[in-house]
């Protein structure tokens, strides 16, 4: 009897999972289309939050993989993936890129190469968002906010809960340790980690 119940549960679970995956992909396709994202192929679990303002651009390559739910990546600190491009910014995501519960907020230019993996809860920002000067910040004069492009090379792996800040380039094949804050550019074929991220060793 127990084995029968387990078998039925597994069948029902597969049916529900198939339905949810189809639903998630259909809604995400619509979200991408409405936001004028140029994309080819993607897989998704859950539905990302997407905001591409007028004059901004987002281009996504082949085989883009996004996890937006606890069921798709139960790593903790879960949220939907966020793709936000504003201020006439440009976000370019290469082929075979995977991300889970991560945020990309672009106001200038963010370019992500091919075969890049983001661990759960990563953030990439190309802006300070608010001025350093307290007088400008308290008066909400955000037009003085600094923006600087971000470039992530091919085959980079960024560990969970890491943050990449404006003006940073990460060379191909490099690895960023979990929970790192990357404030300056990193050469190819190196491992960096910490807050702020520092050189650990070469690959």
Where do the domains of the chain lie?
A: 2-202
Place of tokens 């600087």: 148
Extended beta strands in the chain, E state: 42-45, 49-52, 57-60, 64-67, 82-85, 90-93, 98-100, 103-106, 109-112, 117-118, 123-125, 150-152, 157-158, 163-164, 169-170, 175-176, 181-182, 190-194, 197-202
pLDDT at 146: 83
pLDDT at 157: 98
pLDDT at 87: 86
**Fold classification of 2-202 (topology level):** UDP N-Acetylglucosamine Acyltransferase; domain 1 (2.160.10)
Residues 185, 147: Cα–Cα separation, whole Å = 15
What is the arithmetic mean of pLDDT over 57-85? Answer: 89
161 is catalytic: no
Catalytic residue among 57, 65, 130, 137: 130
Digit-coded pLDDT (tens) for 148-192: 999 999 999 999 999 999 999 999 999 999 999 999 999 999 999
pLDDT at 25: 92
Place of tokens 């597969």: 14
Q: Which pTM does this prediction carry?
A: 0.88
The yes-or-no verdict on residue 194 having pLDDT over 70 is: yes
What is the residue-averaged pLDDT of the chain? 89
Q: Using 50, 70 and 90 to split pLDDT, how confident is the model at 70?
A: confident
pLDDT at 10: 64
pLDDT at 22: 83
């Amino acid at each position: 009897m127990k084995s029968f119940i387990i078998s039925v549960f597994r069948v029902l679970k597969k049916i529900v999972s198939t339905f949810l995956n189809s639903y998630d992909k259909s809604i995400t396709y619509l979200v991408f289309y409405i936001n004028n994202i140029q994309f080819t192929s993607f897989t998704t679990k859950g539905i990302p939050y997407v905001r591409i303002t007028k004059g901004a651009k987002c281009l996504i390559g082949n085989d883009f993989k996004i996890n937006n739910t606890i069921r798709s990546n139960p790593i903790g600190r879960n949220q939907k993936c966020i793709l936000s491009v504003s201020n006439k910014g440009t976000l370019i995501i290469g082929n075979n890129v995977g991300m889970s519960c991560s945020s990309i907020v672009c106001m200038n230019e963010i370019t992500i190469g091919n075969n890049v993996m983001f661990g759960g809860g990563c953030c990439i920002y190309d802006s300070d968002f608010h001025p350093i000067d307290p007088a400008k910040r308290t008066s909400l004069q955000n037009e003085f906010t600094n923006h600087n492009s971000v470039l992530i090379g091919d085959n980079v792996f960024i560990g969970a809960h890491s943050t990449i800040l404006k003006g940073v380039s990460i060379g191909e094949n490099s690895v960023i340790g979990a929970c790192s804050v990357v404030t300056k550019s990193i050469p190819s074929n190196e491992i960096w980690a910490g807050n702020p991220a520092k050189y650990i060793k070469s690959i």
